[in-house]
Amino acid sequence: MLRFEPVTLLDISAGLKQRRAISLGHKRLCQSHLSSTTQTPHSVVTGTIPTAEGEAPAPSRVLVVVAHPDDVDFGTAGTMAALVKAGSHVSYCLVTSGEAGGDDLPLNEDELAALRQEEQTAAALAVGVQDLHWLNYPDGRVVNSLDLRRDISRVIRIVQPDVVVTQPTEANWDRIYGSHPDHLATAWATMAAVYPDARNPRSHPELLAEGHQPHTVKQVWMMWMAAPQGTMLHGDITATFEEKVKALRCHSSQTDRIEGLDDLLREWASGVAATADMPPDTLAEGFRVIDTE
């Protein structure tokens, strides 16, 4: 249903490195979310996500699992907006409330957590997402534990998604700020929740006692945060780019002092589209696809 063709990936980081934030901390915040490819070309298989009329049906239900508020919007808000428009039901699962992000704000952890939950809720609404699940794990201390696997499995069984979107399991040491330990732990716990936990009635039997029946996820889409490999899908976000920007602007505690955010996002998305040989002026987000059915 999707057309695949080989593509050679080129380095798109040069332009990103030239963009500046007001402070080094906020520059690093941008780069942590907008990590790009390494300089070594890779041959992959690529296709596009069906979101337009006349294409293959979009996924019926999609669940995005990320470590922190704003992770979803830097990585995939444009695609989620397009999927919502195409009829997909999209849900978010936030492992933490982001209370460790914003050391320059005069707020305690509880106040910052509440603020960031409000920001993420507004950002989700900006792209048409209303279903949010908060796990409230401590920000900066997320580990790939059985408890986290169980809690993500619970959300999977509740939402029953066809596709789970999450962060990459691989660290990218060319962009250390994108390899936050919380991101990696969340990604690995999510993969374990998808397989084997959420589908196995013997995994976390307390979930059955709560009435949550096993569910098999068909695919995982990993956000493109390092050199792509294997099968890639690209979401055309040209028509939803402004919604992505609006969503990120909702995270004012994190993005207000980032200089040139709109241009930075546009440059990154243009580079992603170029690696997939999409038409000129196309903006895109990329995902590595893992079949899990």
- Residue pair 91/157 in contact (Cβ under 8 Å)? The answer is no
Structure tokens at 268: 């990154």
| Close Cβ partners of 266 (under 8 Å, ≥ 6 residues apart) | 241, 283
Please give the structure tokens belonging to residue 213: 């029946």
Rounded distance, CA 79 to CA 286, Å? Answer: 9
Is 144's pLDDT higher than 90? Answer: yes
Query: pTM above 0.75?
Result: yes
Say how far apart CA 274 and CA 269 lie, in whole Å.
9
Q: Which range has the worst mean pLDDT, 24-38, 132-146, 218-232, 248-262? A: 24-38
Task: Map tokens 């196309």 to a residue.
Answer: 282
Residue 61, H or E segment: strand 61-66
5-291 is a CATH 3.40.50.300 domain? no
Lowest mean pLDDT among 86-95, 189-198, 201-210, 223-232: 223-232
List CB contacts of 103: < 8 A, sequence separation 6 or more: none
Cα 217 from Cα 156, distance rounded (Å): 8
State residue 179's pLDDT score: 87
Residue entry with tokens 């789970």: 164
pLDDT above 80: residue 19:
no
Which of 28-32, 157-161, 199-203, 236-240 is predicted with the least confidence, judged by mean pLDDT? 28-32
Q: What pLDDT does 148 receive?
A: 99
Say how many CA atoms lie within 13 Å of 14 toward its Cβ. 3
User: At a CB cut-off of 8 Å and minimum separation 6, what does 233 contact?
Assistant: 2, 46, 47, 48, 49, 221, 286, 287, 289
What is the sign, positive or negative, of the torsion defined by CA atoms of 23, 26, 30, 33? positive
- pLDDT at position 57: 81
pLDDT of residue 276: 85
With the C-alpha atoms ordered 278, 56, 221, 65, is the resulting torsion angle positive or negative? positive
Residue 209 burial (CB count, 10 A): 8
Contact 217, 190 (CB under 8 A): no
Cβ atoms within 10 Å of 53's Cβ, excluding its own: 6
Q: For residue 213, what is the DSSP state?
A: -
| Distance, C-alpha 236 to centroid of its chain | 15
pLDDT digits (tens, 9 = 90+) for 265-285: 999 999 999 988 899 999 999
* 284 secondary structure, DSSP code: E
DSSP three-state, residue 261: helix
**Domain definitions of the chain by residue range:** 5-291
* β-sheet with 131-137: strand ranges across: 5-8, 43-48, 231-236, 284-291, 219-223, 163-166, 61-66, 89-96, 131-137
Q: What is the pLDDT of residue 41?
A: 39
Residue 101: the pLDDT is 87
- Measured from the Cβ of residue 5, the count of other Cβ atoms closer than 10 Å reads 9
Half-sphere exposure of 205 (CA within 13 A, CB side): 1
